[in-house]
Structure 1
Amino acid sequence: MDEKILGVVDLGSNSFHLAIVQEDNGRLVVIDRMKSMVQLAYGLTPEKLIHPNTREKALTCLAQFGERLAEIDRKNIRVVGTNTLRQLKDPSFMREAEAALGVPIEIISGKEEARLIYLGVIQYVDLHDQLALVIDIGGGSTELVLGDKDKLLRSSSLEVGCVRLAKQFFFDDKISKKQVHAAALYLETELQPIHPHLTSDPCQYFGASGTIRTLREMIEQENLGEEEITATALKKLLKILLSLGTVRAIERRFDLTTERARVICSGLLILKAVMEKFHLEMVQPVDTALREGMVLDLLGRIHKEDMRDLTIESLVHRFGANIEQAKRVEATSLYMVDKIELSAPYLTSPRRYLGWASLLHEIGLAISYHRHYKHSAYLVEHADLDGFSRTDQKILAAILYNHKRRFNPDDFEYLPDFTMALTLILRISVLLHRSREPQPMPEFDFQYTKKKITLTFPPHWLDEHPLIQQDLQLERDWLKEAGIKIEWA
């Protein structure tokens, strides 16, 4: 396998995209692309399940993607799901989707999506020392991201995208003044909570996504403009779409696929509403966005410049955790995990999760000592953590919630098998460092099976540490309730 080949997959609400990229002396060269307008948002039922027809279309596409990814090193692959998959309540679809792809799918938050979009755009444009507002119109949501060079300042997610809007207002494949007026009023309401000071002057405005690129092509075809999309050009293009009146007529006039023609009026109305909200005269379309951001973020992980490490460090400092104690616990946790073998179906190694959990295990003390482990878990599960997927956060939260007192195996039911083992390791490490003293731990043996833990310390060491021996006896009682045996000598 070529170490310099990377694969990224963006499972959007409108389209599924795959990009294969080669790293060549610091340059990134796209060597293959695949795309399918699955329009997952159209197939999302009121019960948050996927309609059978859309399900079949999605799984067929993912199987094709999986075949293309099969020859790429797993650590060089990243797959993310966005708005529609965030809403989904259909575990069986996710299992089938991951089986078809052959790699796990990360469901990312709106804030993480915004960060990756901004990262993907900002590397390929010249800002002239100005701020940048990036507008990305997806199928299920629209992301607005303000940044200063490589620093993201603010972001906001509009819970409406081109597929969702089309499904609600243009479901009969017709485009009428009445429908356009109703959709425009709806967008005005949706945009109302977004503060107009999301933008600042001087600022450049960029439009990312296939919808915006298609609008630019349509504007050029009608001789309404060239490189940039202006507010005037959008108004004139809307009049043309109204005169055409149907999706079929739009499809023929602009040589679009049926799927694209069905959502392009919705995309136009979203961009028009955003531009009116912020009094923008012009938006500059760009050809990069989420996928390029994923590639750059993945490269950072490969080259040991992982955004997630910075996020953990920031969280530890923000909540005033004792970093010396956290690092002692981390060192002992990693010492133990290195003594056993854990299956790792996820792209992030179990060792990484354990290290992060060890560093974070006391952040809940910022709220209260009483049940601080629960507070730590809550903060990690519900905070916006740059670089982390929702699954990442659930894994960390489960470890933190169960690292003290009662141990509940049911909390790990839908998580990777290694999560339970990591939790047990953290429990023991925290127990061994209860004194909070800086003395180094001696070398000791650690063995683990799913139902049994064995610890072997140097002779007489436990006799010299009666409090640890007492805590181990209490730990034996807690784990016995969960059907797990712990022995020590």
Structure 2
Amino acid sequence: MATTSMETSSPLYAVVDLGSNSFHMLITRQLADSVQVVDRVKRKVRLAAGLSRDNILSEQAMAKGLECLSFFAERLQDIPAKNIRIVATATLRLAQNSAIFLAKAELILGHKVTVLSGITEAEYIYLGVAHTSFSASKRLVLDIGGASTELVVGHGFTVKKAHSLNIGCVTYNQLYFPNGVLSESNFASAISAAEFAIDEIKTEFCDIGWQCVLGGSGTMQALAEILTYRQKPSVLSLDFLYQMREQLQTFDNISTINLPGLSTERSPVIASGLAILIALFQQLSIKKLTLSNGALREGLLYEMLPGDRSVNIRQRTIKALSQRFHIDQQHAHCIQQQVNAIFTQLKIHWDLPGNNALDILLASCDLHEIGLLLEYKYHRQHGAYILTHADLAGFNQSERQLLVTFVSLYKGDIDQKIIDKQSAITSEHALKLLIILRLAVILCRRRKDDELPSYQISANGKMLSLSLSKTWLMQHALISDELRQENIHLGRLGYHLDIEG
């Protein structure tokens, strides 16, 4: 695709996060009301490992951090100063000699470094989730850093309660896994210490309550990647965390960890991060945790960008993709109308899931032709690939999988294996929603609003009855034949479509 002048002239924005475990630099530009990542740089500095028991940051740790910032400085020099945010978190909050490091850092970077308080960091983490994750419910957001762990409960863009604990995967690694030794007693000590710290705030958080739990820090991402490697839904449960603890204890030392799906750069702090996460699950009675699309850096970025918080994050993502891939939005809207009509008529008959599942189904109407820009013949496969790999703010991984399922199967053969692979809803419900989408697409085949029929549809188990005007069917021979072909596809899965005219 050719690059437009708007794309090349859009100003760049940069966020630099001097974390206790890693230093990150995120560079983006705003395109079509969405954010395009231009560059990411990440370095495992492990700054917190250089903190003494008296909270003095070692010369060696400072030197390693400053070297990393010299790399960042080269990239930042071409970005307007007003579009740059640089922040430091727990280690530089705690270090008594942080002023020495910060003075040298600002000299290298040519920009001010803001040391965030624990509460401010927690609030920005929450905003990063709010800007990039869709949820109509009150949510608990967790973030395990190198030297601190943030907990936030909020709804929409409003923070209800935020707290930062001085427990982190780097500091706990040194305290409870000395010399990298992995043992049952070391895990027990780390979990117990984390539970003790969490216990002080447990009641006030539990009293507020929440409906869903999200997290996006390195520990949670690493664990989710292990699940993905095993071809399982990337939803963390306490049982899975216990399984991981048992598997890690089969290794004598952190340096010998070799788990399929776990990156080598995350291995050094996976045990300590896991211990803290187990403590959070146990103390707060968490049943499951899903990954968020954003955290601290995204919170800082979106608050810097011009934008409107009232715009639904999913709609913003869909609008950006529709414009970028030149999707026929009028046709997509037509299909949405038919999906809503069929869904309404079948909801009681099929006990269909509403709310989020319906939202994803409607999103698939907007995006089902996203692959057409590449070519027609394999456009469903192209569309599935694009949606699998694109930045989809507002959709978590399981929601993305369901969206990809609908887009890849909206016409042609129905592969049950693809339906079973998604984990957002049951396979039965996913298939029923897919059938609704497929029927809507067929009925809109003319791509003309004034040619849409009046019809009734009902279901009795796997028996569908679609009542259309006989005259309309005769006047639309292609659509009539498509409906007969659809009955063949559905028949392979045990369903039957009866067309009454």
TM-score (norm 2): 0.57
Partner Cα separation in structure 2 for residue 192 and residue 201 of structure 1 = 16
Partner Cα separation in structure 2 for residue 52 and residue 226 of structure 1 = 43
Q: Secondary structure at the match of 2:14?
A: strand
Determine the structure 1 residue equivalent to 2:132: 124
Q: Which residue of 158, 161, 165 corresponds with 2:165? A: 158
User: Cα deviations across residues 45-67 of structure 1 (Å, max 9, x unaligned)?
Assistant: 23433223222211111000011
Q: Secondary structure at the match of 1:192?
A: helix
**Shift of residue 150 of structure 1?**
1.2
Partner Cα separation in structure 2 for residue 251 and residue 68 of structure 1 = 35
Structure 1 residues 233 and 184 mapped into 2: Cα distance closer, same or farther (>3 Å)?
Answer: same
Q: Is the 8 A contact 1:219 1:237 kept in 2?
A: no
Structure 1 residues 266 and 24 mapped into 2: Cα distance closer, same or farther (>3 Å)?
Answer: same
Q: Secondary structure at the match of 2:103?
A: helix
Q: Which ranges in structure 2 are unaligned for 5 or more consecutive residues? A: 1-7, 311-501
Determine the structure 1 residue equivalent to 2:454: none
Task: Determine whether 1:49 maps to 2:47.
Answer: no
- 1:242-257 equivalences under 5 Å are 242-251=249-258, 254=261, 256-257=263-264
Determine the structure 1 residue equivalent to 2:412: none
**Shift of residue 80 of structure 1?**
0.4
**Shift of residue 2 of structure 1?**
5.9
* Backbone CA RMSD of aligned residues: 2.3
Q: Secondary structure at the match of 1:78?
A: strand
Q: Which residue of 124, 138, 141 corresponds with 1:134? A: 141
**Shift of residue 256 of structure 1?**
2.7
Q: Which residue of 52, 71, 74 corresponds with 1:64? A: 71
Determine the structure 2 residue equivalent to 1:143: 150
**Shift of residue 216 of structure 1?**
1.1
- 1:453-468 equivalences under 5 Å are none
Task: Determine whether 1:261 maps to 2:272.
Answer: no
Structure 1 residues 59 and 202 mapped into 2: Cα distance closer, same or farther (>3 Å)?
Answer: closer
Q: Secondary structure at the match of 1:256?
A: coil
Determine the structure 2 residue equivalent to 1:206: 214
**Shift of residue 218 of structure 1?**
2.2
Partner Cα separation in structure 1 for residue 199 and residue 158 of structure 2 = 26
Q: Is the 8 A contact 1:166 1:266 kept in 2?
A: yes
Q: Is the 8 A contact 2:133 2:294 kept in 1?
A: no
Residue 190 of structure 2 aligns to which amino acid in structure 1?
A
Determine the structure 2 residue equivalent to 1:289: 295
Determine the structure 2 residue equivalent to 1:280: 286
Determine the structure 2 residue equivalent to 1:230: 237
Partner Cα separation in structure 1 for residue 275 and residue 115 of structure 2 = 27
Q: Secondary structure at the match of 1:71?
A: coil
**Shift of residue 280 of structure 1?**
1.0
Partner Cα separation in structure 2 for residue 227 and residue 63 of structure 1 = 36
Partner Cα separation in structure 1 for residue 157 and residue 47 of structure 2 = 32
Q: Is the 8 A contact 2:138 2:212 kept in 1?
A: yes
Q: Which ranges in structure 1 are unaligned for 5 or more consecutive residues? A: 306-489
What is the number of equivalent residue pairs in this alignment?
A: 301
Q: Secondary structure at the match of 2:141?
A: strand
Task: Determine whether 1:191 maps to 2:198.
Answer: yes
TM-score (norm 1): 0.58
Partner Cα separation in structure 2 for residue 87 and residue 213 of structure 1 = 26
Q: Is the 8 A contact 2:192 2:279 kept in 1?
A: no
Q: Is the 8 A contact 1:250 1:256 kept in 2?
A: no
Determine the structure 1 residue equivalent to 2:96: 89
**Shift of residue 89 of structure 1?**
2.2
- 1:103-122 equivalences under 5 Å are 103-122=111-130
Q: Which residue of 223, 230, 234 corresponds with 1:215? A: 223
User: What is the percent sequence identity of the aligned residues?
Assistant: 33
Determine the structure 1 residue equivalent to 2:363: none
**Shift of residue 251 of structure 1?**
4.5
Partner Cα separation in structure 2 for residue 36 and residue 298 of structure 1 = 24
Determine the structure 1 residue equivalent to 2:39: 32
Structure 1 residues 47 and 159 mapped into 2: Cα distance closer, same or farther (>3 Å)?
Answer: closer
Residue 71 of structure 2 aligns to which amino acid in structure 1?
Q
User: Cα deviations across residues 160-187 of structure 1 (Å, max 9, x unaligned)?
Assistant: 0111111111121111111111111111
**Shift of residue 10 of structure 1?**
0.6
Partner Cα separation in structure 2 for residue 110 and residue 297 of structure 1 = 18
Q: Which residue of 278, 301, 304 corresponds with 1:298? A: 304
Q: Is the 8 A contact 1:9 1:17 kept in 2?
A: yes
Q: Is the 8 A contact 1:219 1:233 kept in 2?
A: no
Of 74-83 and 187-196, more deviation after overlay is shown by 187-196
Partner Cα separation in structure 2 for residue 181 and residue 282 of structure 1 = 22
Residue 105 of structure 2 aligns to which amino acid in structure 1?
A
